[in-house]
Every structure is written in C-alpha cells, then in structure tokens.
Structure 1
Amino acid sequence: MRNLLDLSGKAAVVTGAAGGIGAELSQALAGQGADVALLDISLDKLDAIREQIEAQGRRALPLQCDVTCGNDITSAVASILESFGRIDILVNNAGVASAGSVEELAEAEWDRVMDTNVKSIYLMSKAVIPAMKERQQGRIINLASICGVNGSKLAALHAYNASKGAVVNLTRGMGATLAPFGITVNAIGPSLFPTGMTRALYQDHFLEQYNTLCPMGRPGNPDELNGAVLYFASDASSYTTGQTLYVDGGWTAV
C-alpha cells in the first residue's frame, strides 16, 4: 500500500521555525521526505534545527524573515524558489500571545498580536499561492488554537482570541476559493503545548486548573501535533479543505 504521508520530493516552508512547535513540525515534515525552508526573525536559533533536518538527509534553508513585513516575505519566497524550485507546503506557524482584556490592552499590543497571528498568514499565503497555482497543487496549513472557538477559561486573552478566531474563518474562506486550483487550506487548533510562549503558564496552580478542565488531564506533548501537520501536508488529506483539527485532549469537546 502506498504511504499516503510520503512527502518525498516536496518543498515545505515553516514560519516561526525556531520555536518549539515550529521546530517540531519542521522535523516531522523532513522525516517524511520534505526539504524545509525555515523562516524566523531569529536566524541564529535555526542552526540546530537545520542540522537535525540535514541529519535526516533532507535539505534545510534557514532564512531570517519578519513575517509581518511584506518585503521580507517577498525576498524569502524568492530565495526558496531559487533553492528548491517549488513550494508545495506552507505552514503558517508564527504566532504570539498576549494576556489582557480589551480594557487593559494597549493599542500597539493589540496590533502586534493581530499582525503576527493574522496578517502574517495573509502575507505569506499571498506570496506563495501564485507558485502553487502554477503547478495546480499546494497545501497551506495555519496554526489556530482552541482560543479561536472558546473563550479563555483561565485568563483574559482577548487579542489572542480575536486573532485565532480570524485564523479559523480565514482558513474556511481560503479553503473554499482555492480548492479549484488544487490547493487545500486547513488549520490545526492546539490546546496547551510546551513552547517558549507558554512556559510561564506551566506553573503549579495554572497547570492544576488546566488539567482539571481538560478531559485528558494533561497538556499536549510536542510531538503530538506531528500527525495533524503530516495529514494536512500530504495526499492523505487530498479531499479535506477549510477545516480546523483541534488537537486538544478533548478541550473543545466539552
């Protein structure tokens, strides 16, 4: 039987690749045979991930890129196409969170969250879709969150709620209109996973509350998002688009 998750010969792009989830997803894609362009604002943090991907026999292309800046993205995509000759998979992983209610948040902080979590998807997708349309195939995978469909039970995360809700519906819209071009657009909605962004939440009191509310009684492990990204990146999901898969230990089920 053909391996539906096989990505041999494919070229993937992962934004926010230096972070915990970005690094894990990049290695998962390489593990199934994809070459991976690693985009992050911190270029020096990509060296270790590049080495791990190359150790798997795949090519890695680290690029410094501010994904809220159109000029940076245009330059990065040109470099990827020059190096790999194609872009088959885009994982819009870059994101930030910010605690605070609408009464508390400064306007600049609201803009920072919305630009990083939503505008970056618009800019990155806009840059790669022409190459995907030319080949009549492509996979765009956005990182949403349980906070895109649920209010935050344990803290006010209003800008994050708004941004991830936008990701969920942007994914629906893009999935519907890009389907005729052989391009699928889907999203992954994690709950709590260990990353640099969530490290401060791994405190006894918060974690105890989270574990009580989560049906599985624990946060996710880093590699537990790999199956979702490989599904959406591969032929296994060829008839799936506009969907968000919540990898959340049952959080959104109750």
Structure 2
Amino acid sequence: MPFTNKTVFITGASRGIGKAIALKLATAGANIVIAAKSTEENPKLGGTIFSAAAEVEAAGGKALAVQVDIRQEDQIIAAVEKTVQTFGGIDILINNASAIQLTGTEQTETKRFDLMHSVNVRGTFLVTKHCIPLLKKSSNAHILTLSPPINIEPRWLGPHVAYTISKYNMSMMAIGWAQELQPFRIASNALWPKTTIDTAAVRNILGGEMLAKMSRTPQILADAAFYILSKSAATCTGNTFIDEAVFAAEGITDLSAYSVVPGANLYPDLFI
C-alpha cells in the first residue's frame, strides 16, 4: 500500500477525472480530501463532495469532504486548515479543477474569460501556494496538474484563445514549480490524455454521447497518476506527461480496457 497514511488534496474531485484519481489512491490506502464546489447534485453533472467521499471510504480510504470554490482564497485557506486538523498535513496536491469553453474571441463573453482564468490560472496558483508549506514537510511530496504539453502551434490557439492560454498557463506553472521547489524535493508535473475522456464536459459541452463513445474512461488518468505519484519526488519532476507515454514507460501498451466502447475509434484530445 504505497500511499498508506499519505494525504492527497484534490480539487474538483466530486466527479470525473478528479474522483477517479481519488478512488485509485484510496484503494492504495491514501487519505483523500475532496475539495470541490458541489454539495447538491446537478443531474447533468452528477456527484457531490459527499457522494465522492462516501465512494472513497467504500474503496478503503479515509475521506474529508470540503466545499471549496478555488476562486475564493479564504475558502482555500479554510480547506487547507481543515485538512491539517483532520489528517495532519498534505503529501500530494492534484490540481484538477478547471473551466472550459471552446469559443472564438468574439464569442467568448467576458465573464467566461474571467471564469476560466480565475479557476484554471489564479485558482490553481492559490491552491498550490497554500499547500506548499505542508508539502515541504512531506517525505515524498508531489504536485500533479491536469494540463497539456505546451504546443504553440496556431491550430491550438486560433479556435479558442481564451481556453488555450488558460491551460498553457497551468502547464507553465507546473514546470515553474518543478524548478522553484526542487530544493525542497517537491515534484511538480502535468498530465494530459492522448484521447478524449468521458467526462461531464465531453457529454454536455464538447460532443455529447457520440464523442463520449469515442473516448476513454477517467480511469486511464487515475492509473497514470498512480504511476507518476509513486515515483521519487527528487527525480520525477518537471514533466508534461501524456497518459500513453506513462504507461509505455511501465511496459504497458495494451490500453483497450480503458475504451468506453470496446474497439471504438478513439478521438484525439486537444493540444496533442
């Protein structure tokens, strides 16, 4: 049980990728902090911090459900303090919470631009800032940010400038933290999928049921995260990982079990 008594703080963990990572690490003995907004279930989204916490405990982990809007610094501070009171510290931070809107410049409302940058950039920065003092005390501290490799090809910038630059900002922070926190042996990496992942965003915003059937399950990122977080923080840092490459490094090439529909043609994710 490599994560026994390790405490993992996960933003946006009430559903989707964040919850999948929470459950994976819970089965390995981790304490999981479900730091997300949802306290009442939205039928289109599914899941709350409480339902996710119940699943974590059923999987064998200990859970703390904390309502946090990462746009609000006081809520971040309160969540970190409650984590310390409950589990004594933080060993791993997963920056998963993110907002998305794939629209051109004229079609992107100011409030949506502000939302993406408040959550993806400012929120990720502030959560990390307030977790660092605790990560410094861990024997193998990791920060893992769900963001893509920085690919400045115009085809990734032109269609949705606002979203793209917000996600690239997350990746630049991940790379920057690897350098900044190296003296403290705190690892910082980014992780991104090669193909689309069956999430609420895919079903409700991007492509609906049709795209979901051409996707992989969130479990692939959970398993990839497990491999990354199992590494030594002193040596595994400063990477922008693609999930398939993580598996290849482990000698795993058959990823068919992760397809939502067995044998389906998979749809490439953004920025790849």
Q: By the TM > 0.5 criterion, same fold?
A: yes
Q: In the alignment, which of 126, 130, 137 is matched to residue 129 of structure 2? A: 126
Higher relative contact order (Cα pairs below 8 Å, separated by 6+ residues): 1
Q: Is the 8 A contact 2:97 2:119 kept in 1?
A: yes
CA contact (8 A) 1:50 1:61 kept: yes
Matched-pair contact (CA < 8 Å) for 2:8–2:90: yes
**For residue 18 of structure 1, what is the aligned residue in structure 2?**
14
Which of 197, 200, 204 pairs up with 2:201? 197
Note the residue ranges of structure 1 that are not aligned, 5 or more in a row: 212-217
Q: Secondary structure at the match of 1:125?
A: helix
Contact residue 150 and residue 252 of structure 1 kept, 8 A: no
Partner of 1:32: 28
Which has the larger share of helix? 1
- Runs (4+) of structure 1 exceeding 4 A deviation are 146-153, 248-254
Aligned residues, how many?
241
Are the structure 2 counterparts of residues 7 and 243 from structure 1 closer, same or farther at C-alpha, using a change threshold of 3 Å? same
Tell me how far apart the structure 1 counterparts of residues 108 and 97 of structure 2 sit (CA, whole Å): 21
1:253 & 1:168 partners in 2: Cα distance? 12
Match for residue 98 of structure 2?
A: 95
Report the Cα distance in structure 2 between the residues aligned to 1:152 and 1:197, rounded to whole angstroms: 21
1:245 is aligned to 2:241? yes
Match of 2:257 in 1: none
- TM-superposed CA distance for 1:107, in Å, is 2.0
Distance 2:241 2:140 in 1: 21
Q: TM-score by structure 1 length?
A: 0.85
Alpha-carbon offset, residue 174 of structure 1: 0.6
Asked if structure 1 preserves the Cα contact closer than 8 Å seen for 2:11 and 2:34, the reply is yes
Q: Distance in 2 between matches of 1:101 and 1:223?
A: 31
Gapped runs of 5+ residues in structure 2? 41-47, 245-265
- Find the residue that maps to 1:94 and give its secondary structure: coil
AA of the residue aligned to 1:91: I
* 1:150, distance to aligned residue in structure 2 (A): 5.7
Q: Aligned partners of 1:167, 1:148: CA distance in 2, in Å?
A: 13
Q: CA RMSD in A?
A: 2.8
The residue aligned with 1:215 is none
TM-score of the superposed pair, with normalisation by structure 2: 0.79
Query: Is the Cα contact below 8 Å between 2:38 and 2:49 reproduced in 1?
Result: yes
